[in-house]
Every structure is written in C-alpha cells, then in structure tokens.
Amino acid sequence: MEILKQLERCESISDYSLEPQAKLLLFTDRVVIPRNEEIQLNIIQNHHDSTLAGNPGQEKTLKLINRDFYWAGMNQFIKEYVSSCHKCSRNKNIHHKKFGLLRPLEIQSGPWISLSMDFI
C-alpha cells in the first residue's frame, strides 16, 4: 500500500510503476500480486497443474510465473507447492548413486554355520 500511495503522488520508486488504464501495480514490468494465497495458488495451478503446462518442475514453474507476475516470497511459495505435488513426486526420477554389484557369499567351513531364507 505504501508503494501504491507513493506512486499515486508521482513519487518515483525504483523498479515499480503504475499502469493507469488497467490499474495495475508493476514491478520490473511484472504484475504485483497482493498477499492473497487464493490468487497466488490460482496462478501456480494455471502454470503448473494445467494440461498444457504438463507439471513442470520447480525451476521451470518459477520461470514461467516469474515472466508475468511478482509477489513477496514467490520463490519459496512455488518451491513448496511443487515439492508437495503428488503427480511430480510420483513421476520424478530418483537421483542417487547406482547400487553396487552383487558379491558372492563366502564359502563356509562347515554345515549350519550360515543360514539364509527367502520370504515370498
């Protein structure tokens, strides 16, 4: 609100501008979104969950939204949303070291020294 009042009084604020026809507050040519979680979720869902978006990851979703919109804490909000996405977690590739090769068991010196069982 402070920024909006200063812009209405024609005071210059770096990186902020006011679009008079559409009555939009802009930050580096991106629409500033108010602190309203419902609006923010709607924007993320349109850019992440829609059929056309195809559930992009955190970085791509952030880039897509960052082109047109801005709000305080946007990066963290998007990362939390995408990391909690059920489709993404189910389809995400697992990045870990490859498991090592199987090693043969040692040959024991007598009977019943080693016992193994397979459970089915």
pLDDT digits (tens, 9 = 90+) for 48-99: 888 777 788 889 999 999 999 999 899 999 999 988 888 877 777 777 778 7
Tell me the residue range of the domain where 19 lies.
1-32
> Over 90: is that where the pLDDT of 38 sits?
yes
Q: How far apart are CA 88 and CA 58, in angstroms?
A: 10
Q: What is the pLDDT at residue 42?
A: 92
Instruction: Name the residue with tokens 């992009």.
Output: 56
Whether 98 is in a domain gets the answer: no
Does this model's pTM top 0.85? My answer is: no
Q: Does residue 71 share a domain with residue 41?
A: yes
* 107 has pLDDT over 60: yes
Residues 41 and 72 in one domain: yes
- Tell me the C-alpha distance between 71 and 40, whole Å: 8
**Backbone Cα Rg of the chain:** 27
Give the pairing of strands 69-70 and 30-32.
Answer: parallel
Residues 82 and 67 in one domain: yes
pLDDT the model gives residue 40 = 92
Compute the mean pLDDT over every residue in the chain, rounded to the nearest whole number: 81
d(CA 16, CA 9): 13
Asked if residue 55 belongs to a domain, the reply is: yes
CA-to-CA distance for 49 and 43, rounded, in angstroms?
10
